[in-house]
Structure 1
Amino acid sequence: MKNILLLMGLCLALTVHAQRNNPMRIFSKDPLINLENFDKQRVHWGYFLGFNFYDYKFDYKTVAPDILVDRTTGFNVGLIGDLRLQEYVHLRFEPGLYYTQRNLTFAGFSRQADAQREVGATYIHFPLLLKFSALRTGNVRPYLTGGVSTTLNLSSNSKSLDDNKQGRFRVQQWTKNYELGFGVDLYLEYFKFSPSIRGVFGLGNELIPDNDPNSPWTGNVKSMKTRAVLINFAFH
C-alpha cells in the first residue's frame, strides 16, 4: 500500500509541475491548446506505471464450498508503442512487468497450512490493443480500448513434480486473455498523461491439477481463469 500511495503521489506531482507555469489550466473554458499535433505522429512511444488487482474465477465439477480468493494490490511497470492507423484508431503494444499475489483458502481442512496457499506471481504481460479515441475537446480526449494478450508467469511452478500435497500450487506458465477498458488523454504542456482502467479476462484453464485425481485441493475444480483490474498511468 505504501508503494501505491507513493506512485499516486509521484503521478500527481508530475502533473502539477507540468501545469504550474501554464496560466491556462487544462480544464479551463478556453484552454491554451497543448501538443496540438501530437496525435498526428505515425508512431510514438511512452511508458506506464500502475497497480493491479488479480483474482481467479473457479468453475467446479460438482456443487461444493467455494475456494476463497483474497486479492492483494500489485504493481505494474512497462513500455508503450503506439501506431496511428487513422485519426480515431491506434494500435498499441504495451509489454509490462506485473507483480501480484492471491491468497487461496480451501474448505474442509483443519490445519491452516493445508487450507491456505499463497499464490505469488511475476507476470510478463504482452497486450495488443486497439484504441478508439473520441473527438478531442481542448486538452482532453477520452478513449476506449480492447484487444488480446498473452502472459508469461515466471512463478508458475509448472515444471515442478510436487503439488499441493507438498504445499506447492501449480498453474500454467502461459495464458491467453482478452481485455477491455477506457481512459482519458490529458495534453499537458510538455507531455501527454493518460490514466486508464482495464479488465483482463483469462480464456483458458490455468490450473495444473494435483497428481492425485481425487485431490482435496484441485479434484473438484473444472477450470480456473484469471480475472484482473489494471489501473495504469501512462506518460507519452
Structure 2
Amino acid sequence: MKKILTIFLLLAGLNAMHAQLFSGESIMNQQNFDQQRWSWGYFLGLNTYDFNFDYKEYNSDYVTGQDFRVEKRIGFNVGLVGNLKLSHNFDLRLEPGVSFNTRGYQAVKADANTYREINSTYVHIPLLVKFNANRLNNFRPFLVGGVSTSINLSSNENNPDDNSAGQFRMTTNSYYYEIGFGIDLYLYYFKLSPSLRGVFAINDELIRDADPNSIYTGNVDKMMSRGVFLNFVFQ
C-alpha cells in the first residue's frame, strides 16, 4: 500500500506539473500563500536507513571489503512543519517528527546466529534552509539543506547486556547534515510539497561490546547512519 500511495502521489504531481507547463493554464492557486511571514503544516513520508562503516583494518578476505551486511527496509515518517520566510527565495524551516524504521544487521562470514534486527524509533529534529526558485504558474522547485539531531528511543545505550547476550546497542543522540530537493505544488485548497532528502550522520553511533575482539564491534572504527527521506508536506 505504501508503494502504491507513493506512486499515486508522484504521478499526481507530475500530471499537475505537465498541466501547468504545457496547457497554458492561467488560474493561480494560493496566490498569497508565499507572502505569509509564518506558515505551518504537517508531513507524511517514507524512509530507508543504512549504516556506513569505517574499519580499523580492512580484511581483503571479504569479497565485499566489509565486515557486515545491512538489510534495508522501508520505514515511515510523520511530523510538523514550521516555516519562516526570510526573503523572496529563502525560508527557514523546522520539521520535528518521528521516524520508524527496521534494519537487518549481520556479520558477513559468520553463522545465522549473528543476525540482529534493529528496530529504531527516532525523534528527528531538522533545522533547514530552503532555497526557492521563482514560481511558475502553480509550481515552484526548491533545494533544501541543513543540520539535524535525533533521539533514538530504541537505542538501548544504557542496557548492560551487549551482543554476547543478543543485544545490539547504539547511542541515543545523533547528529546529521541533510540535503535534498523538491517542488511546491499550489493546489486549490492547500500547498503540497513532495521532497527527496539525504540524511547523513556525523557522529559514531555504535556502543562497543565488553569483549574487545567482538565480531560486532571489535574492528569498527565508526558506524554512522545514513538515510533517504521521501516526504509529502501539506500546508
Letter in 2 for 1:68: R
Deviations 1:159-217 (A, max 9, x none): 10000000000000000000000000000111001000000010010000101111111
Aligned pair count?
225
State the partner residue of 1:29: 24
Structure 1: distance between partners of 2:120 and 2:26: 44
Q: CA RMSD in A?
A: 1.9
Structure 1: distance between partners of 2:219 and 2:120: 23
Q: Which of 3, 6, 10 lines up with 1:5 in the alignment? A: 3
Letter in 1 for 2:109: G
Structure 1: distance between partners of 2:172 and 2:5: 29
State the partner residue of 1:40: 35
Work out whether residues 7 and 50 of structure 1, in 8 Å CA contact, stay in contact via their aligned partners in 2.
Answer: no
Using structure 2 for the length normalisation, give the TM-score: 0.90
SS at match of 2:86: strand
Report the alpha carbon displacement of residue 13 of structure 1 after superposing the two structures with TM.
11
Work out whether residues 146 and 178 of structure 1, in 8 Å CA contact, stay in contact via their aligned partners in 2.
Answer: yes
Is residue 208 from structure 1 mapped to residue 234 from structure 2 by the alignment? no
Is residue 83 from structure 1 mapped to residue 64 from structure 2 by the alignment? no
Is residue 102 from structure 1 mapped to residue 103 from structure 2 by the alignment? yes
SS at match of 1:123: strand
Report the alpha carbon displacement of residue 60 of structure 1 after superposing the two structures with TM.
0.4
Is residue 68 from structure 1 mapped to residue 66 from structure 2 by the alignment? no
Show structure 2 runs of 5+ residues with no match: none
Show structure 1 runs of 5+ residues with no match: 20-24
Change (3 A) 1:198 1:12: closer
Report the alpha carbon displacement of residue 53 of structure 1 after superposing the two structures with TM.
0.8
Structure 2: distance between partners of 1:225 and 1:9: 30
Report the alpha carbon displacement of residue 72 of structure 1 after superposing the two structures with TM.
0.1
Using structure 1 for the length normalisation, give the TM-score: 0.90
SS at match of 1:159: coil
Structure 2: distance between partners of 1:147 and 1:107: 34
Report the alpha carbon displacement of residue 6 of structure 1 after superposing the two structures with TM.
5.9
SS at match of 1:86: coil
Is residue 120 from structure 1 mapped to residue 115 from structure 2 by the alignment? no
SS at match of 2:170: coil
Percent identity at matched positions?
Answer: 48
SS at match of 2:198: strand
State the partner residue of 1:22: none
State the partner residue of 1:137: 136
